[in-house]
Structure 1
């Protein structure tokens, strides 16, 4: 095809195979991708359909066009495409991908036929028309993750999503072999979200140069802030797709302070920041497993004012046609997460995770989902934030869940090769991930509505769904028994419950014989009608799980 041709590649993540298409379009990944092509030939400026094409709802469709390659196409050429279906209209920004190639990516939110038309200040790219058909989603495609029930998350199809994340800041800035090892580790780990940076990180135990850079220029600090490196972004996209194949959300950190001027990505002028953010969003917004995190420890970037962050949050959310999850992460000064453009609060506060009664306060303050994304790290480095025991990391994650929030794991064990998971990835060395896999099983088996505080001011260690499901986490206490008593909410005399004792550290489940039948004891509490207690093993990190038994059982 000549320079006036349009090529549609429809990427359907998690599909079973890759159909026979031209090699430059069909890239084999692990797991495989399904790829369908819609070819349109322009005859005298009129688009003529050659073959129909289907793509999955919430999948990723890509319009590829040939246009100007001279001057600076990153700045000089504007390109958008409007996709319409009935009364739905979605405008997606295109981007320059080098060598005269322009792309527009689209993720259809509903099934059925979508028509499109392009708009551009470049004649070759303007006014191209066509249509695609979005088929029902297949495989593990549940759509993007969204806020659900105010404090929780679910995929677009309603399937609950309960974040249990990890931090691996600069894993995509490492050699390919190490990146592959990180993916192998994640495939066997319990984590379903990864906090990761676009830009490289320069800090103790992480001072190597990356294989490539997001901007054109001469390393380490001579950059053309108006020219991007498409090959860098293609590699990043490949890794994001591989995370999707593992069922992992990419919590993408767009800016961070751990540069210290070495590269200068932490102190770009405002117009460069905004141009970079728009370019990233134009490339990645159609990836259904991408979340936006404006910054890691935003307040440590002293060259920027809080008003700059207000502006950049607006830039990202205005550029994103799909409303992907968006946050900003703090160092010492917590950002005002009441900003309606932020979908959830990403908090650094290790002490908040030491007790559920502390963490729960953030829910009341911001009234949206709370992710305690940095509760310190399991490890042995000589930094106060990076030497938690595995027991303490596990304990803090349980506390966070009981508070109705969601935790993020991290690991910093010293190594001769300076490969620490928190920065570079590689392999996990700690003992908490296995325990967090046990916690994930507990969460997966909990009600779809999620874990919520039930009587937060009086009984902060009891959470669940009133009258139906309870987790009573006893933390570092080591009692011989627990007196069966629950807050009154949702309870009536005669309700029956079964009980298991969960050992959060030893990862065991011990069923307790018989059923517990509740009777109101005080104006605020219900207890077992026979005043039964739950026997415990006299060691810490025990949790009593209580589930309603329906009469039919």
Structure 2
């Protein structure tokens, strides 16, 4: 007898029921409600004997939306369905899907080896709906937006506990994730998705992990050695964050070689295709997967590595999550290629073509600003994945970066129309949650609580003082400024934001109009001071000095209140 284990998923809670059915005939299954942009899942038991259950048969499904749109997607072998089993042991396959239309969905599954399939339906409801997937904002694609239509300021932290997925789940959610949610973070860069290396890096001031056996597969053998308990640990974390609309960027990606993990090079073409296909089947139905990333620091053009990988992802991911590779020298990026749909960058190779010389400038804010500017390809948002001044972990001790550098680098990214992540915990290996070297969200022991406040202020300015998603980088509107320390973001004629490091003076050029709602904001404290009303008439344009004239604008000289901090000037009608 063939058993179908039906799971209707609402708010990502599995509701199990058992339905009997003959192996010689199809089965009908009727599942419960599923919230929009959440995860639908059913488990199907197939008791046939296979030499390799990962590859000897494929579970395929056609989903039909309420509007009649058809989506073909695959399922995956999941051992005993609870994290146990291997290529020969276990009888559970699963279908996962992310509905993007409300109403009744119908689906029909088949097996590639001719085993009888089945059909069913579920109702997608708006109650408990997720935010959806991150896309480039349709009206201004420098920025991210849920489903391309609802712009969102990405407030992102780099959470680096590789092996923490094996620590008690409730402890991690209470001590690592929840404090970030409480501070308004809606995005994490993580190292545990996918799990390939560095499993001794977990939070030492928490309960010990249940295991450090967390490599997804044995090198070169993805299709026969997948560790299902690791997938369940990862998905428990991803699912919890998905329920709370916290998006996740996989920093380490699919390539383990750079961190002494399983190497992409050791996989045959067939194994690469399986690895990508299996990963997509399990993870793509999670809306909070920001996008796919191959690994850190690649050139972008290699068919054997990141480019070929991106094509496989593009082929198999029917939900079309964003795709990227991380470029450490974005001046010569490959993001114009259609295989990549956003840019994940570092601030290297901006100051000089030779890396030893360039390292002298890794902590400077202007290299972050320029990297974000040159990393942008029209239509593809930029995410500063590894900004050297933005990472206390690893980079501050190597570059001598300070918290002032961190704050200025964050503003450098934002005024370049880019998103970024940062972190304020210290160690690369001996991680802690609390204390002076832990995460800067617990008590007052960690000196980087100041940086956490700096990021809060930046986020408040971008979301409450201006409509950031209507603005673009506008350094061309500045004169008489230090270009390495003063930058502009603007929606010309409507709103202007100028960041001036250490109170540097500048001249900003405005189109005619009355700007009455103006303010200086201290980037360290959030304190506000008024700035005078500015009125520019069409007749004023003729009085601009010839060597400073910008067509259709007039310059306004601005001297920040003092030079003891960084100042942000906001100008609005």
Q: TM-score, normalised by structure 2?
A: 0.77
* Structure 2 CA distance for aligned equivalents of residues 420 and 171 of structure 1: 13
* Structure 1 CA distance for aligned equivalents of residues 557 and 258 of structure 2: 59
The equivalent residue for 2:7 is 8
* Structure 2 CA distance for aligned equivalents of residues 265 and 170 of structure 1: 21
**2:29 pairs with 1:56:** no
The equivalent residue for 1:467 is 493
Which structure 2 residues correspond to residues 171-250 of structure 1 after superposition, within 5 A? Answer: 171-173=162-164, 175-177=166-168, 179-180=172-173, 181-197=175-191, 198-202=194-198, 211-215=212-216, 226-250=224-248
The structure-2 alpha-carbon separation of the partners of 1:298 and 1:306, relative to structure 1 and needing over 3 Å to count, comes to farther
Alignment counterpart, residue 117 of structure 2, candidates 110, 117, 127: 127
The equivalent residue for 1:32 is none
- Give 3-state SS (helix, strand or coil) of 2:54's partner: helix
Which structure 2 residues correspond to residues 530-545 of structure 1 after superposition, within 5 A? Answer: 536-545=561-570
Q: CA deviation at 1:96?
A: 0.4
**2:140 pairs with 1:146:** no
**2:529 pairs with 1:516:** no
Are 1:381 and 1:387, in contact at CA under 8 Å, matched by a contact in 2?
no
Are 1:170 and 1:201, in contact at CA under 8 Å, matched by a contact in 2?
no
Which structure 2 residues correspond to residues 470-485 of structure 1 after superposition, within 5 A? Answer: 470-479=496-505, 485=508
* Structure 2 CA distance for aligned equivalents of residues 207 and 267 of structure 1: 31
The structure-2 alpha-carbon separation of the partners of 1:42 and 1:547, relative to structure 1 and needing over 3 Å to count, comes to farther
Instruction: Report Cα offsets for 1:490-510 as digits up to 9, x if no partner.
Output: x334x3331111111123233
* Structure 2 CA distance for aligned equivalents of residues 342 and 410 of structure 1: 26
Q: CA deviation at 1:258?
A: 6.1
The structure-2 alpha-carbon separation of the partners of 1:544 and 1:331, relative to structure 1 and needing over 3 Å to count, comes to closer
* Structure 2 CA distance for aligned equivalents of residues 274 and 189 of structure 1: 40
**2:452 pairs with 1:402:** no
- Give 3-state SS (helix, strand or coil) of 1:62's partner: strand
- Give 3-state SS (helix, strand or coil) of 1:449's partner: helix
**2:77 pairs with 1:79:** no
* Structure 1 CA distance for aligned equivalents of residues 343 and 133 of structure 2: 18
The structure-2 alpha-carbon separation of the partners of 1:357 and 1:457, relative to structure 1 and needing over 3 Å to count, comes to farther
Structure 1 gap segments, 5+ residues each:
19-24, 27-36, 549-553
- Give 3-state SS (helix, strand or coil) of 2:516's partner: strand
- Give 3-state SS (helix, strand or coil) of 1:226's partner: helix
Which structure 2 residues correspond to residues 147-546 of structure 1 after superposition, within 5 A? Answer: 147-148=136-137, 149-156=140-147, 158-173=149-164, 175-177=166-168, 179-180=172-173, 181-197=175-191, 198-202=194-198, 211-215=212-216, 226-252=224-250, 253-256=252-255, 261=260, 263-265=261-263, 267-271=265-269, 272-299=271-298, 305-331=302-328, 335-349=333-347, 354-355=365-366, 358-359=370-371, 361-362=373-374, 365=377, 367-376=379-388, 377-379=390-392, 385=398, 387-411=400-424, 413-414=426-427, 418-419=430-431, 427-428=439-440, 429=446, 430=448, 431-445=450-464, 446-447=466-467, 449-456=469-476, 461-479=487-505, 485-487=508-510, 491-493=511-513, 495-512=514-531, 515-519=533-537, 520-521=540-541, 522=544, 524=550, 526=553, 536-546=561-571
* Structure 1 CA distance for aligned equivalents of residues 327 and 148 of structure 2: 31
The equivalent residue for 2:77 is 96
Are 1:203 and 1:258, in contact at CA under 8 Å, matched by a contact in 2?
no
Instruction: Report Cα offsets for 1:78-120 as digits up to 9, x if no partner.
Output: 1111111344111111000002101111111111222211121
Q: CA deviation at 1:75?
A: 1.3
* Structure 2 CA distance for aligned equivalents of residues 292 and 215 of structure 1: 19
* Structure 1 CA distance for aligned equivalents of residues 515 and 391 of structure 2: 40
* Structure 2 CA distance for aligned equivalents of residues 11 and 48 of structure 1: 20
* Structure 1 CA distance for aligned equivalents of residues 397 and 264 of structure 2: 25
The equivalent residue for 2:106 is 115
Instruction: Report Cα offsets for 1:284-336 as digits up to 9, x if no partner.
Output: 100000023333324399xx955322111111121111001111113458651
- Give 3-state SS (helix, strand or coil) of 1:398's partner: helix
Instruction: Report Cα offsets for 1:179-205 as digits up to 9, x if no partner.
Output: 443224423444322222312434997
* Structure 2 CA distance for aligned equivalents of residues 387 and 55 of structure 1: 50
The structure-2 alpha-carbon separation of the partners of 1:388 and 1:83, relative to structure 1 and needing over 3 Å to count, comes to same
Instruction: Report Cα offsets for 1:3-31 as digits up to 9, x if no partner.
Output: 33251322325xxxx6xxxxxx45xxxxx
The structure-2 alpha-carbon separation of the partners of 1:172 and 1:182, relative to structure 1 and needing over 3 Å to count, comes to farther
Higher percent of residues as strand: 1
* Structure 2 CA distance for aligned equivalents of residues 366 and 409 of structure 1: 25
- Give 3-state SS (helix, strand or coil) of 2:253's partner: strand
- Give 3-state SS (helix, strand or coil) of 1:277's partner: helix
Are 2:195 and 2:230, in contact at CA under 8 Å, matched by a contact in 1?
no
Q: CA deviation at 1:40?
A: 6.1
* Structure 1 CA distance for aligned equivalents of residues 419 and 242 of structure 2: 20
Q: TM-score, normalised by structure 1?
A: 0.80
* Structure 2 CA distance for aligned equivalents of residues 142 and 207 of structure 1: 30
Q: CA deviation at 1:39?
A: 7.3
* Structure 1 CA distance for aligned equivalents of residues 488 and 571 of structure 2: 10
- Across the aligned residues of Structure 1 and Structure 2, the Cα RMSD in angstroms comes to 3.6
* Structure 1 CA distance for aligned equivalents of residues 426 and 107 of structure 2: 51
The structure-2 alpha-carbon separation of the partners of 1:533 and 1:336, relative to structure 1 and needing over 3 Å to count, comes to closer
Number of aligned residue pairs: 504
